[in-house]
Structure 1
């Protein structure tokens, strides 16, 4: 995945000073005296599409088709297996803080971030800063569907339906196309479009909305869908909270997967998250969840949530640089498929394992708008331009995880209408999560307890019996264990040799020897070439303006001469009445002379017009060359980004091998030739990992 061309990474301390100064000058999203219009309780519907047919289609596909899908669209199919707990979701909505675009659980602020959703979707094709922007004069709905499905215009037109104020295509037509289309890639594309329309943006049940197809049509160009997914999630939560009711039309599966990642604490980050094929969404979908907790108990848990109850950094999230603002915005604006909104990543720095300080939030409550009317196009352009100048910061981990100034600000902050912590004897989390047993369950537990005691007694007797015969087999087992250990060591040595050879080839292929400074020099050289073309273009424009001025002067001179000819003609008419034939001939000679002068001026004027046309042609050619140069720079930037990503992947793999090398070196210490050869190979792997660290 690629970053934007104008990204800027700043130091954590500098960003903290800027954030606290900005908040002090501008204030918060809500000011003193604000009266919330939100209702005390929001009745939200989480009605979902029936996904059984999609599950059956996915189950019938072989591994080749599934790999093609993962390569182009990431881990979205695992959303089919995520169960939506409606009671938990309805409880979650009550704690959505519209003014700050975050969830506020007691003293805890949490918000889904772009980095977290990008890690969950895990799509290798997207470029993280190439966001979706609604096209003002894009192709028609039918043209987009023709491009996605590969079907004729007649087939597409007859299947488009009007659903309320939106145009859609029913799922049943897409299902039939997936089952019958001869092109495997088109089947994958239509299935991915269905996931986006029925799960990610489920506006009209059983249908895929026109706006969703516009976003999907851009995915093949590297556009990231994550800001649009977050935007519609936040906008739908806002709409339900403001109305006091409504149906949620964001991606409930992704939101619940994100929530579970922060709610259930895990002692250690699984080492497998560093493996290339590890999928956090797959693991979350396969994890069993309790579905017997009532909505009231969920609200009691969330209402009194404390810092120690939260897994601040999701176990599958590897912290990196933090995108905290775009352009002149003090936070990150998000463009959806039906509207736009903003959110403040600096509000949730602890989710990146970084120290929390006071974030700037002014303007968040007023930034939302829908794609309707005339003014929205200008605002969309402003946000798109802001994403060309993204700003990131380095994370800074320290204890305590929040500054004293933040703690004081958090206490004094004015929030929207959300449930506040229960000050009078809040129930513990264990009490809320404890199921209430029935009489039958009590009897069953007693029976199981007695059965367990009997089983333990029987096992104890069997162990005593078996212990008598174990002494005879101990020596045989020990010999067998040593033989297997030797074979395993030899297999590990062969595997390490193979990995070492692959790494050497990967290093040569990825160009690991090329430093980041050399990449920067190449980028600066391309920028210099673009500046030269822009300078030539400005010079051509200046010459064009000069010729235009000369043309205007020539035209004025022509008008003056025409007026002079008219005066002379009048004078000639008067002279004919009173002059002789000789005087008449003299006047005619003078007129002929003036006519000759006029013809010369006309020729000069035509020459100037030809020169102007030539300059306009030259100007168009220079414009075309400038666009070609800019496209070359973008392509070069994309190639460089891909190369750097390959370098980082190789570096990550080296770190993994270094860890494995440490484990093996401790496990198989030996003075034999085989052991020394293994130790030498392990030292080579460690040395390569040290060389690769600067590229991570």
Structure 2
């Protein structure tokens, strides 16, 4: 796969309201799932390759040790206007393509959760996870108003299947535990029906990214609370762009490390997640509408051009972006249905289209700037002409005045001397 050259030109992307502002920080909380129990259970896997082929890179996510200090610091730079992380000289944001790579699963060309699908019925759940219907009812529970299966019940069933060497059943329940406890955390030690439903759709990436954006956006607005998203994935994404391991070895607070980074320090591009195609927008939206477990929020891929070897060459304030954000409980504009409809028309762009689009965009901007230049030039030419005419008029008036003076001197000899004597003579105030 041929790589496009990375253009070195980069706008200073600092937004007006980001300049010379003392940032007030807030500390947020995160769910702390029982990773050790799941890691211990993961050692019972007999065929790691088979599990990865079925469920992606769940084991890598499970093995990730999260640095809450790093995430807390990074979140302070979230930009609620552009839905990205804005620093002094650059902006960066997690994309669908990056999350797809780190999860190890593709983004399906269909409406993601929660779209048109119905809540799965209990018999369907039992059959999918190799459970007896009568036995599964022992693990059913309702917590915080949502139905699901308890962690202890699923953990016990996974252990039993492992002891019986039922690899397929074990892998299925083990993967579900990771979905409910790590990828889509909610109530502690509980796999709720949303996580089960997302597992069944086999298209978790859009929801994972939506939960990340939505929860951060909501907590930033409230300036406190628990951020409900997969922190392991967010941590992995952040560190993938940092100049590791150097930055991790420095004995300084994360705030100092992050603030001192420049665009040249950032590891912008990883060919591993570049499939040559990106989701640019959906339906009538000029961006990508994401649906999470609690609400919807828009993703702006145009802000991530440099992460795909297409450096942004214009400041964000010149880009028209819609910034949708809503909760399912307060959706007066019926945005959820609009988001669902938009996902029925996914628009993807490859490198050639991106290049063409960039060229067309810049050609349009060049023509606009050229028109502005011509307008200003005409105004300047008019001003220069007016100044020239004024100067010529002043010269003409001075010449006429001088001509008059010369004429008066000829007809009234000594006029100039008498005038000078009047000016130079003693003033009446000084007379004795």
Alpha carbons 1:141, 1:210 under 8 Å: kept? no
Taking the aligned partners of 1:201 and 1:75, their CA distance within structure 2 comes to 15
Structure 1 pair 385/105, CA: closer, same or farther in 2 (3 Å)? same
Mapped pair 1:363 → 2:322? yes
Do the aligned partners of residues 42 and 165 (structure 1) sit closer, same or farther apart at CA in structure 2, a change above 3 Å counting? farther
Indicate the residue corresponding to 1:43 in structure 2.
Answer: 27
- Indicate the residue corresponding to 1:252 in structure 2: 231
- CA separation of 1:200 and 1:163: change in aligned 2, threshold 3 A: same
Pairing 1:173–2:130 present: no
- Partner of residue 216, structure 2: 237
Q: Does 1:62 align with 2:46?
A: yes
Q: Is the 8 A contact 1:107 1:307 kept in 2?
A: yes
Equivalent position to 1:96, from 75, 78, 81: 78
The answer for the alignment partner of 1:228 in structure 2 is 207
Q: Is the 8 A contact 2:97 2:274 kept in 1?
A: no
Q: In the alignment, which residue of structure 1 is the partner of 2:102?
A: 120
* Residue of 82, 87, 94 corresponding to 1:105: 87
Partner of 2:57: 75
Q: Is the 8 A contact 1:202 1:250 kept in 2?
A: yes
How big is the alpha-carbon RMSD for the aligned residues of Structure 1 and Structure 2? 3.2
- Does structure 1 conserve the Cα–Cα contact (< 8 Å) formed by 2:100 and 2:107? no
Q: Give the superposition deviation at 1:292.
A: 7.2
Offset at residue 110 of structure 1 (A) = 0.5
Deviations 1:619-648 (A, max 9, x none): xxxxxxxxxxxxxxxxxxxxxxxxxxxxxx
Confirm whether residue 345 of structure 1 aligns to residue 301 of structure 2.
yes
CA distance, structure 2, for counterparts of residue 355 and residue 293 of structure 1? 32
- Aligned-residue offset at 1:119: 1.5
- 1:323 offset after TM fit, Å? 1.7
Aligned-partner SS, 1:56: helix
Is the Cα contact below 8 Å between 2:182 and 2:230 reproduced in 1? Answer: yes
* Residues 42, 240 of structure 1: 8 Å contact kept: no
**In 1: Cα distance, 2:135 partner to 2:259 partner:** 53
* TM-aligned CA deviation for residue 190 of structure 1: 1.0
Q: Is the 8 A contact 1:325 1:392 kept in 2?
A: yes
Q: Structure 1, unaligned stretches of length 5 or more?
A: 1-29, 266-286, 407-696
- Classify 1:309/1:374 alpha carbon distance in 2 versus 1 (closer, same or farther; 3 Å): closer
Q: CA deviation at 1:141?
A: 5.4
Change (3 A) 1:188 1:319: closer
In our comparison, the structure showing a higher alpha carbon Rg is 1
SS at structure 2 position matched to 1:161: strand
Contact in 2 for aligned 1:96/1:104 (Cα 8 Å): yes
Cα offset, 1:58, TM superposition: 1.3
Per-residue deviation, 1:129: 2.2
Q: 1:153 aligns with which of 118, 133, 152?
A: 133
Q: Compared with structure 1, are the counterparts of its residues 309 and 56 closer, same or farther at alpha carbon in structure 2 (3 Å cutoff)?
A: same
Q: What SS does structure 2 have at the residue aligned with 1:301?
A: helix
Could you say what secondary structure the match of 1:43 adopts?
coil
In the TM superposition, residue 204 of structure 1 has moved relative to its aligned partner by 1.4
Using a 3 Å threshold, how does the CA distance of structure 1 residues 293 and 177 change in structure 2: closer, same or farther?
farther
Give the equivalent residue in structure 1 for 2:168: 185
| Match 2:142 to one of 142, 162, 169 | 162
What is the CA distance between 1:48 and its match in structure 2? 1.4
Q: Distance in 2 between matches of 1:40 and 1:173?
A: 44
The 1:337–1:361 alpha-carbon spacing in structure 2 relative to 1, beyond 3 Å, is farther
Distance 1:150 1:139, change over 3 A: farther
Mapped partners of 2:194, 2:67: distance in 1: 28
Higher relative contact order (Cα pairs below 8 Å, separated by 6+ residues) = 2
SS in 1 for 2:86: strand
- Normalised by the length of structure 2, the TM-score is 0.70
Determine if contact 2:214/2:297 at 8 Å carries over to the other structure: yes
Q: How many residue pairs align between the two structures?
A: 336
Q: Where is the helix percentage greater, Structure 1 or Structure 2?
A: 1
Q: Report the secondary structure of 1:311's partner residue.
A: coil
Once the two structures are TM-superposed, the CA of residue 371 in structure 1 deviates from its matched residue by 2.7
Alignment of 1:120-519 (within 5 A): 120-123=102-105, 126-134=106-114, 138-140=118-120, 142-181=122-161, 182=164, 183-219=166-202, 224-264=203-243, 290=248, 293=251, 297-314=253-270, 316-318=272-274, 320-358=276-314, 360-364=319-323, 367-372=324-329, 378-395=334-351
Shift of 1:384: 2.4
Unaligned runs of 5+ residues in structure 2 are 1-14, 357-361, 367-432
CA contact (8 A) 2:280 2:301 kept: yes
Q: 8 Å contact 2:82–2:321 — kept in the other structure?
A: no
1:42 positional shift = 1.8
Q: 1:357 to 1:328 in 2, by over 3 A?
A: farther
CA shift, 1:362, in A, is 3.0
- Following superposition, the deviation at residue 327 of structure 1 comes to 0.8
- Provide the C-alpha distance between the structure 2 equivalents of 1:357 and 1:317, rounded to a whole number of angstroms: 23
Is the aligned partner of 1:87 residue 2:69?
Answer: yes
Alpha-carbon distance in structure 1 between the residues aligned to 2:249 and 2:31 = 17
Residues in 2 aligned to 1:46 and 1:202: alpha-carbon distance in whole angstroms: 10
CA distance in 2, matches of 1:121, 1:61: 19
Distance change (3 Å), C-alpha of 1:379 and 1:133? farther
Change (3 A) 1:311 1:78: same
